[in-house]
């Protein structure tokens, strides 16, 4: 791919090389002429009339200039071409063109430079896509409840509404206000969690009891759908930040409730294996396709493109970050129409436990 140049900072390098080569050629030719003069003077002083020393100087100067310009042109066009390509690509990258790629395959070092640059450009391109998606989804999630609040508030100004209608519209306003408040809370939680590099305030606590509390906290949601909960919890003591980990259990269980069908089933399991604890949440809900599974942990991503399902696409992003902080792993197994299983594996004692 040919890269257009807008800036040419390499001209200074070319000028320096031209002057350097010119001086070398001039020095060599002058020295050669001087040595020839000495040789003629010593060997042929009786037979040959010696030319004056200054006469060859203009010729040497002109020849030096010609050779210097030719050599510097070749030196700047051939060895510096990869540098010019790199500078041009960097300028394009700085102007926001994250699709630019380079191919410098003349030496092993330049090949590595090309790979590093292309990897950097690829990461910047992905970051830009994530930023764009974040803004679009964030705007949508905030705009929807605000529009509802405004719309139903205007309707309430109508004096002909019955008491039942007024109560219904007020309930919708309260629900949308709670939704907006929950979204703001989740965004703040995600922002604070992303700033954490070292988990502090760790202590031993009853993990199975904390999961029971999370289930009870969501009781109104799973009772509303008449879900059957199958709970299998080993008595496990875990070392960690109880408040931080509560967000993990609550978000995963809430996600299973959200995507379960009415009168469906949810299995919640906790057990120990060697030095790890394994937490699983299974539901027989809608399930996910391969593309949804690939992006399920991206912020504001929702498998339901219509946004009809309650949620804002932040909960699983928080879960993923917490699992990473505890040096654990999270995986998802899902099939359309069958259901979804989230599996979290956390080491009981890891690097975080030493802080």
In this structure, the answer to whether residues 180 and 304 fall within a common structural domain is no
Q: Is residue 111 part of a domain?
A: no
Contact (Cβ atoms closer than 8 angstroms) between residue 320 and residue 260: no
Q: Determine the pLDDT at residue 260.
A: 86
Cβ atoms 109, 82 nearer than 8 A? no
In a domain, 114, yes or no: no
> CA 44, CA 32: separation in Å to the nearest integer?
18
* Contacts with 247 (C-beta within 8 Å, 6 or more apart), sequence order: 189, 193, 318, 319, 322
List per-block mean pLDDT (blocks of 10 residues) for the chain, which spans 355 residues: 44 61 68 66 56 56 66 61 76 78 74 80 73 66 78 87 88 83 72 68 87 89 89 89 87 88 90 90 86 74 52 74 88 87 85 48
- DSSP conformation letters of 21-86: HHHHHHHHHHHHHHHHHHHHHHHSTTTSPPPPTTTHHHHHHHHHHHHHHHHHHHHHHTTTHHHHHH
Task: Say if CB 333 and CB 283 are below 8 A apart.
Answer: no
Rounded to whole angstroms, the Cα distance separating 208 from 238 reads 9
Our measurement of the distance from residue 94's CA atom to the centroid of its chain's CA atoms, rounded to an integer in Å, reads 17
Q: Are strands 228-233 and 265-273 parallel, antiparallel or unpaired?
A: parallel
Res 321: pLDDT: 87
Q: Tell whether 216 and 331 lie within a shared domain.
A: yes
Asked whether residue 266 falls in the same domain as residue 171, the answer is no
Domain boundary among 45, 77, 97: 97
* 115 in a structural domain: no
Residue 318 belongs to what domain range? Answer: 203-354
Beta bridge partners of 148: none
Identify which of 192, 226, 231, 197 has the alpha carbon closest to the alpha carbon of residue 211. 231
* Residue 2 belongs to some domain of the structure: no
Q: Give the number of other Cβ atoms within 10 Å of residue 88's Cβ.
A: 20
Does some domain include residue 161?
yes
Q: Are residues 242 and 188 in the same domain?
A: no
Q: What is the 3-state secondary structure (H, E, C) of 69-89?
A: HHHHHHHHHCCCHHHHHHHHH
Q: Please state, in angstroms and rounded to a whole number, the distance separating the CA atoms of residues 98 and 122.
A: 7
* Sign of the Cα pseudo-torsion (62, 65, 68, 69, in order): negative
DSSP character string of 159-197: TT--HHHHHHHHHHHHHHHHHHHHHHHHHHHHHHHHT-S
Which domain-ending residue is among 47, 80, 97? 97
Distances (CA, A) of 223 to 211, 216, 217, 262, 273: 17, 10, 11, 10, 32
Give the CA radius of gyration of the chain: 36
173 and 208: one domain?
A: no
Q: How many domains does the chain have?
A: 3
| pLDDT value of residue 97 | 78
User: Would you say residue 36 lies in a domain?
Assistant: yes
Output the pLDDT for position 282.
93
Do 190 and 322 share a domain, yes or no?
no
Q: What is the pLDDT of residue 41?
A: 65
Residues 6 or more apart from 192 whose CB is under 8 A from it?
none
């Amino acid at each position: 791919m040919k890269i257009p140049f807008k800036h040419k900072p390499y001209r200074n390098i070319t000028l320096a090389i031209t002057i350097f080569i010119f001086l070398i050629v001039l020095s060599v030719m002058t020295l050669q002429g001087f040595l020839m003069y000495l040789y003629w003077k010593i060997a042929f002083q009786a037979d040959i009339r010696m030319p004056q020393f200054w006469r060859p100087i203009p010729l040497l100067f002109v020849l030096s200039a010609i050779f210097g310009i030719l050599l510097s042109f070749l030196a700047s066009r051939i060895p510096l071409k990869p540098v010019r390509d790199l500078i041009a690509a960097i300028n394009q990258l700085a102007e926001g063109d994250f699709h630019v790629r380079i191919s410098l395959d003349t030496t092993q070092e330049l090949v590595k430079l090309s790979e590093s640059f292309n990897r950097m450009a690829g990461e910047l391109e992905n970051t830009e896509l994530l930023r764009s998606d974040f803004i679009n989804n964030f705007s949508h999630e905030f705009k929807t409840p605000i529009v509802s609040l405004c719309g139903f508030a205007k309707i309430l100004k109508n004096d002909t509404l019955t008491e039942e209608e007024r109560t219904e519209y007020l309930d919708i306003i309260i629900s949308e206000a709670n939704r907006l408040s929950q979204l703001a809370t989740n965004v703040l939680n995600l922002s604070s969690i992303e700033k954490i590099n070292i988990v502090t305030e760790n202590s031993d606590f009853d993990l199975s009891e904390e999961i029971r509390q999370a289930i009870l906290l969501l009781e109104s949601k799973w009772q509303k759908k008449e879900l059957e909960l199958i709970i299998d919890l080993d008595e496990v003591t875990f070392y960690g930040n109880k408040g931080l980990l509560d967000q993990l259990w609550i978000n995963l269980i809430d996600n299973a409730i959200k995507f379960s069908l009415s009168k469906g089933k949810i299995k919640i399991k906790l057990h120990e294996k060697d030095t790890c604890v394994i937490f699983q949440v299974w539901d027989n809900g809608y399930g996910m396709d391969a593309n949804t599974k690939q992006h399920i942990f991206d912020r504001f991503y929702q498998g339901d493109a219509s946004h009809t399902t309650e949620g804002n696409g932040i909960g699983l992003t928080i879960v993923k970050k917490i699992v990473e902080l505890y040096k654990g792993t999270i995986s998802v197994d899902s099939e359309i129409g069958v259901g979804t299983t989230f599996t979290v594996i956390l080491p009981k004692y890891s690097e975080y436990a030493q802080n």
